[in-house]
Structure 1
Amino acid sequence: MAFQCQRDCYMQEFSTAVVSCSPAEITLENSGKKEKMKGFNVILRDTILFPEGGGQPDDRGTIGDVPVLRVMRQGPEAVHFVETALDVGAEVQLKVDWQRRFDHMQQHSGQHLVTALADSMFGYKTTSWELGRQRSSIELDTAAVKTGEMEALEKVVNQKIRDCVPVTVQLLSLDDPAVEKVRSRGLPDDHAGPIRIIDIEGVDANMCCGTHVSNLSHLQIIKILGAEKGKKSKTNLVFLAGNRVLKYAEKSYNTERSLTSLLKTGADDHVEAVDKLQKSVKVLQKNNLNLLRDMAVLIAQNFKNSLNKGNLFCLHRKDGDNEFMNIIANEVGTEDTLLFLTVGDEKGAGLFLLGGPVGIVDELGPRVAELLEGKGAGKKGRFQGKANRMGRRAEVEALLQEHIRHRSSEEE
């Protein structure tokens, strides 16, 4: 069957009835993490909420005041997942999240238009497409596109939009001879009911279950951002349609204003200004590295020249690195001295190095890592790694001092 959302893609509210409601559990993504959620699968007499399919994500909306968290297609049925049980037979009012729906309509119809013209103009077949949250991409069956082709394609695409070309929907039976004349990548195994054809007048006729605009003018504009190398000799064409172009322009303008304020230059000079800054930063980083190296040598020499240097040397420096610690260890020497060196946040995360006689380091290294809630590895009298609790350095120093005192008492 064709759902109401497919018969009238512009309908935003709809009265229907609950056919079934059964307990269910699905996995939903929440802030980048997948979480299992218990709820109910609801089947309605008909629906204006589109179930995912044809490369288009599913709709969101409400059944009465109950949010619909996912809509899935199972054979001829659209299954709505909700957290609250609904009474079977109850008359309910459906509302669709129109902003999400219309965005999907613009991107999907835009994909059909770009796909058809990329084929007719250059012979590039579409092998798949993805409707992303911020931008969409079309996988073209070509290893590369020629210079100027994307610009030419974008020009023709937007001319079709300005021409206000109608987009119509036909429902054909599977044995209708007209089905053989339309573009298709095949039907799903569980397809049921009539074949739905999206016809962009004079441009393209294609099998599709998704929601679409009724006229290309509703796309407003399409911006082809570029073509990128894809997988297995494919090319990914990246595009925006409709309101996404407006949002992209607004975001780009705000970024441009921020850069103008930060760089104290006009927009045309941003790239040159950033390039100069990057070169300056590289010079400063190199100078800072040289200073850290010199400082490491001086710190080591100062310890070696101290009359009361003892057998334990501990040091923490916020802006050091592994090379800084290793230079100190090399200069001091670890045959007779136990070194505990750390760099990074004084209380948070950082790096550590324990150096000294092989036997002592092998014994104490794992205990030091455990105290600092970190991980490390060692060989030849050095154990170093990452730490998450630099605030426990004093506990490590106490451990090392106790070990030295214990060894001294044994030797006496």
Structure 2
Amino acid sequence: MLSLTHAGTRPRLIAGSSDSNSCFSNTKLIQMAFQCQRDCYMTEFTTSVVSCCSAEIKQEVNGKKETLKGFNVKLQDTILFPEGGGQPDDRGLIGEVPVLRVTRQGPDALHFVAAPLEAGQEVLLKVDWDRRFDHMQQHSGQHLITALADQMFGYKTTSWELGRQRSTIELDSPRVTPAQLQELEEAVNEKIRAHVPVNVQLLSVDDPALEKVRSRGLPEDHAGPVRIISIVGVDDNMCCGTHVSNLSHLQVIKLLGVEKGKKNKSNLIFLAGNRVLKYAERSYSTERSLVSLLKTGPDEHVEAVDKLQKSVKLLQKTNLSLLRDLAVLIAQNFKNDPQKGNFFSLHKKEGDNEFMNIIANEMNTEETLVFLTVGEEKGPGLFLLAGPSKLVTEMGSQVLDLLEGKGAGKNGRFQGKANSMARRGEVETLLRQRCQHGVSQEE
């Protein structure tokens, strides 16, 4: 059997030694757990294909759900963890074939791949170590935070989520104070610095030792032994996930803060291990960009942004006032034009619905058909058609079609959103031609 020693947190494969982060006492129980659970640090493993059958999964591509056809492969054993216990599944390779998802079905793990594999063939598994070790750090970090939050403040964990960038622990408490948060962060990092071991045990479901183990219960389809993660001297917790063998492998934990949760609960946001380093790197990069943009030091960024926001609000208020004045002036100029006719059209890049409605209100739309648009010349924008009710109702749907828009109207007004102004000229020509036949209400 292959196993490993630990060089820092990156595993190194060696042959013929015992599992490096396990303390099993029953060979039969060992055989009922996956290899990834017996040795969480193993990155390569040789096994054989038991079966391969057609299957499909739904995955998200660019925000949309798509169905992907492929094959579910069952192996003799696996180092790829199937989703469970709040931990996402692993990624990796079976030979040269990428594994796109790993799920649990009773005592078996199903590996979804795009290409078929032959039953009985021997294959080499490789795990995506960066993804796996990240999950190990976040999951073990959650166990540590959960245990100490309970011991220090009596706050029970009711659920948790291992997110892509940050993780969340739901605590059964309506409030966690800043002082408690700081005290908890100091306590978890003290345990990390103390190099506390993390052991794994497999117990039968009728073992009396389970009565002393923290647990929210076994799933209905649970099969095989019960797996216990023990942070020595801190916590014993029923769990199927992959974990570090020593708290020192967590490196550091940062509690980012607490958000209000559902039903008088609190969501504690945290990062563990490499995520803390990446967070610091992103924060520093953002800080340097802000220094360049704001021309101030990091300590003055909040004040500088506050001043900018106030300036922007003042400019927006001034701009709105100018647009209103401009709308009135545009309408008055049209009304004072002796050759104004019975049709008025205007497009302006800047503006909004209020701007267009002010122009229409200032005009005599009982005798004049008004077509107004704001936005990009060839892109999306807003439109307003105002005039005699019968004419506006007649032409409204045609305007919508040409502008690829959505809208509605009543009482001589038809307005909405245009997806494209590319055919605005066609709309104006159509309306102008219609007006040549008259726009009075008596038509």
Q: What's the TM-score, normalizing by structure 2?
A: 0.91
C-alpha contact 2:342 2:439 (8 A) present in aligned 1:
no
Map of 1:277 onto structure 2: 308
Q: Secondary structure at the match of 2:437?
A: helix
Deviation digits for residues 366-387 of structure 1 (CA, Å, limit 9, x no counterpart): 2111110001111111100000
Are 2:319 and 1:288 equivalent residues in the alignment? Answer: yes
2:121 match: 90
Alignment of 1:173 with 2:204, yes or no, is yes
Matched residue SS, 1:391 = coil
Contact 2:367 2:439 in 1 (8 A): no
Q: What does residue 297 of structure 2 align with? A: 266
Residue deviations 1:83-135 (CA, integer Å, cap 9, x gap): 00000000000000000000000000000000000000000000000000000
Please give the alpha-carbon distance, in whole angstroms, between the structure 1 residues aligned to 2:334 and 2:438.
22
2:171 corresponding residue in structure 1:
140
Alignment of 1:375 with 2:441, yes or no, is no
Query: Tell me, what secondary structure is at the counterpart of 1:190?
Result: coil
Q: 1:338 to 1:408 in 2, by over 3 A?
A: closer
1:352 and 2:383 aligned: yes
Match of 1:366 in 2: 397
Q: CA deviation at 1:30?
A: 2.2
Equivalent residue, structure 1, for 2:142: 111
Cα deviation code 1:181-214 (max 9, x no counterpart) = 1000111111111110000000000000000000
Most deviating of 129-138 and 376-385: 376-385
**Counterparts in 2 of 1:8 and 1:408: CA distance versus 1, 3 Å:** closer
Q: Using the TM superposition, give the Cα deviation of residue 71 of structure 1 relative to its aligned residue in structure 2, in angstroms.
A: 0.1
* Counterpart in the other structure of 1:242: 273
Q: Which residue of 2 aligns with 1:404?
A: 435
Share of identical aligned residues, percent?
A: 75
- Deviation of the 1:147 alpha carbon: 3.6
Q: Please give the TM-score of this superposition, normalised by the length of structure 1.
A: 0.98
CA positional deviation for 1:332: 1.3
Amino acid at match of 2:151: S
Tell me, in whole angstroms, the C-alpha distance in 1 between the residues paired with 2:325 and 2:52.
Answer: 73
Q: Deviations over 1:137-163 (max 9, x none)?
A: 000001111340000000000000000
**Distance (Å, rounded) in 1 between the aligned partners of 2:84 and 2:66:** 22
Letter in 1 for 2:322: L
Moved more, 313-322 or 361-370: 361-370
Cα drift, residue 408 of structure 1? 7.8
Gaps of 5+ in 2: 1-31
Give RMSD over aligned pairs. 1.2
Deviation (angstroms), 1:407: 4.0
Q: 2:373 matched to 1:338?
A: no
Cα drift, residue 399 of structure 1: 1.3
User: Residue in 1 aligned with 2:285?
Assistant: 254
User: What is the aligned partner in structure 2 of residue 157 from structure 1?
Assistant: 188
**SS of the residue 2:87 aligns to:** coil
1:31 shift after superposition: 3.0
Which runs of 5 or more structure 1 residues have no equivalent in the other structure? none
Mapped partners of 2:45, 2:436: distance in 1: 82
Q: Which residue of 1 aligns with 2:67?
A: 36
- The aligned counterpart of 2:250 is 219
Corresponding position: 1:126 with 2:152: no
- For the residues of structure 1 that align with 2:313 and 2:63, how far apart are their CA atoms? 35
Asked if structure 1 preserves the Cα contact closer than 8 Å seen for 2:368 and 2:439, the reply is no
Structure-2 separation of matches of 1:211 and 1:394: 64
1:100 to 106, 131, 145: 131
Name which of structure 1's ranges 43-52 and 368-377 shifts more when overlaid on structure 2: 368-377
Q: Which of 104, 115, 122 is the aligned partner of 1:73?
A: 104
Q: CA deviation at 1:333?
A: 2.3
Mapped partners of 1:406, 1:338: distance in 2: 12
Partner AA of 1:287 in structure 2: T
